[in-house]
Amino acid sequence: MTPPSAPALRFRRSELREHGRLSPGALALLDDCAQPAEFVETLVARQFADDAVHALALLLPHRQCVWWACLSVRLIPDIGKRELEDAAVLAAEKWVQSQAPNEAEAAGRAAKKCDKGKAAAWAAQAAHWSGPSLAPRGQPEVPPSPFLAGVATRSALTLLGLDPAFGKPVALAQWLPIGLALMAGENGKEAQGQVKESLA
C-alpha cells in the first residue's frame, strides 16, 4: 500500500512568534529547527505538548487545520443533538470537502449563529477564515491573514476541552494525535478513533 503523502506545512517563524502563543521554552527551540515537522516533533519529544498543538494549528495547511477542528469537535458525545453546533461543524466539513468560496461564506454564517464559547463555532470560523475574503459577496475582497484559520482551530481545541459533555476537563494535548496524523498525510480518522477510546 502506498504510504500517505504528507502535506506541505506553512512555516512562518514570525507568525509562530507573534500569534502562536508559544511558551518561552518552545520559542527557544524554534530557531534550532530547520523544518516545521522537525519543530513539532521536537516539541513533542521535549514534552511541550500544548505548544505542539499551538504550533501545529498554524503550520498545517488550512484544509487539514479545519479538518483537525472538525474531527475533534465530532468527539463531543452529544454534538448531534445540538442543532446550531452540529450545523456549524457540518458547514466546516463541507468547506473541507470542496474548499469553495461559497462554503467558506456559509461556514461564517453558521459560526455567527453559534455560541462563541463553544468549540463548534470556532471550527466553522476556521473554515470561514480559510476562504478568499472576509467581506460579503459583491464587496471588494478582504483576504484574511493566513494565520487566522490556525488561531480559530486553536480556539476550537482549547474550548473543546472544557465542554461539559466530557464530564471533566480534557487536556489540550488530548487532541494532538489527530493533528499529528494529519501532518503525516493521514485522514485523521484512525487517530480520531484512538482519541475517542482514550476519552471513554
Distance CA 43, CA 51 (A): 7
pLDDT per residue of the chain (200 residues) written in tens, 0 to 9: 455 789 999 999 999 999 999 999 999 999 999 999 999 999 999 999 999 999 999 999 999 999 999 999 999 999 999 999 999 999 999 999 999 999 999 999 999 999 999 999 999 999 999 999 998 888 899 999 999 999 999 999 999 999 999 999 999 999 999 999 999 999 999 999 999 999 98
For 136, residues 6+ apart whose C-beta sits below 8 A from its C-beta are 105
On whether the CB atoms of residues 65 and 88 are closer than 8 A, the answer is: no
Helical H segments across 60-147, by residue range: 62-73, 83-98, 101-113, 119-128
Grid cell 454564517 in the structure block, residue: 109
Q: How far is CA 146 from the centre of its chain?
A: 13
DSSP 3-state of 117: coil
Q: Residue 1: its pLDDT value, please?
A: 45
**pLDDT of 74:** 99
- Amino acid 53: pLDDT: 99
156 and 123 Cβ atoms separated by less than 8 Å = yes
For residue 137, what pLDDT is reported? 82
Q: How far apart are CA 183 and CA 101, in angstroms?
A: 24
Within 8 A by CB and 6+ apart from 52, the residues are 40, 43, 44, 173, 176, 179
